[in-house]
Amino acid sequence: HVRSRRQRQMCIRDSIKTDTGTVNLLIALSQQYRSEGNIHLSEKNIQQAINLSKKINYKKGLGNAYLEIGWEKQYTGDYDVAQNYYVQAMEIQESIGDDKGLAFTLTAMGIISIRFGNTDKSIEYYKRALSIKKSLQDSVGIGALLNNIAVVYYQLENFGKAIEYMEKAQEIYKAIGDNQSLGAILSNLGSFYYEIGNKQKGIKYMYDGHKATLKTNDPLSIAMSFNTCLLYTSPSPRDRG
């Protein structure tokens, strides 16, 4: 029996659905291999994802694949190539309204802009990503971007802005109960305040950060937090006479 047109269309749709799942799996495998430092297998999987996405016109998958290969190229120090892939990912994500993917790519653009010494552009990308994360109500993403922006302002020695964004980040982490991130943020805030001359407030934040870190039961984080407190509160050899 000859299959009806409708049956053929349904088979094609089912095939494409399976293929999009394959693209997503290939991207996930690429990420896993990259995290393990196996760049050869990471690149092999992501190239397959790119080729399959183009074949079935899966634009969301292609955008995500370009983002992933951008991360891979950045990981290996090919910053110009990485930036080119990020731009391609952004164009696709903007065209299809993939806000979640776009926020990740904008964050990647913010990171690589620092590599090129363009801190103003980095802040611009981070703020665009932050706006999207707010619209998506992604508290973890909001906290991370607030922290990223604060770090750039700190590098620019704009300590007022750095503290402003860091204060916002610590409120986010406190609200969602992320003690790992909260401890790190409070410790950073403490060092910021300390370095602009407000030593008392700086030390308080450092100890608050240590208290938050203790709740994580992570020995390494606890040790680092404790050492930070010691570094800023122990008298120097000169002070001890």
pLDDT of residue 192: 85
This prediction has a pTM of: 0.83
H-type alpha helices, the chain: 5-35, 39-56, 59-75, 79-96, 99-115, 119-135, 139-155, 159-176, 179-195, 199-214, 219-233, 237-240
**How many CA atoms lie within 13 Å of 41's alpha carbon, on the beta-carbon side?**
10
pLDDT of residue 229: 83
pLDDT of residue 5: 52
pLDDT of residue 96: 97
> pLDDT truncated to tens, each residue of the chain (241 aa)?
444 555 544 543 454 457 898 999 899 989 988 888 999 999 999 999 999 999 999 999 999 999 999 999 999 999 999 999 999 999 999 999 999 999 999 999 999 999 999 999 999 999 999 999 999 999 999 999 999 999 999 999 998 999 999 999 999 999 999 999 999 999 888 888 888 889 899 889 999 998 999 999 888 888 888 888 887 877 654 343 3
**Cα angle: 156, vertex 205, 193; to 5 degrees:** 35
Distance (Å, whole) CA 222 – CA 179: 11
pLDDT of residue 239: 45
Q: How far is CA 160 from CA 12, 111, 171, 188, in A?
A: 58, 21, 17, 14
Are 105 and 90 contacting, i.e. CB atoms less than 8 angstroms apart? yes
Nearest to 191 by CA among 203, 174, 173: 203
Distance (Å, whole) CA 90 – CA 202: 40
Nearest to 66 by CA among 53, 79, 50, 77: 50
pLDDT of residue 14: 53
Tell me whether residue 165 is exposed, middle or buried, using C-beta atoms within 10 angstroms of its C-beta: 0 to 12, 13 to 18, 19 or more: buried
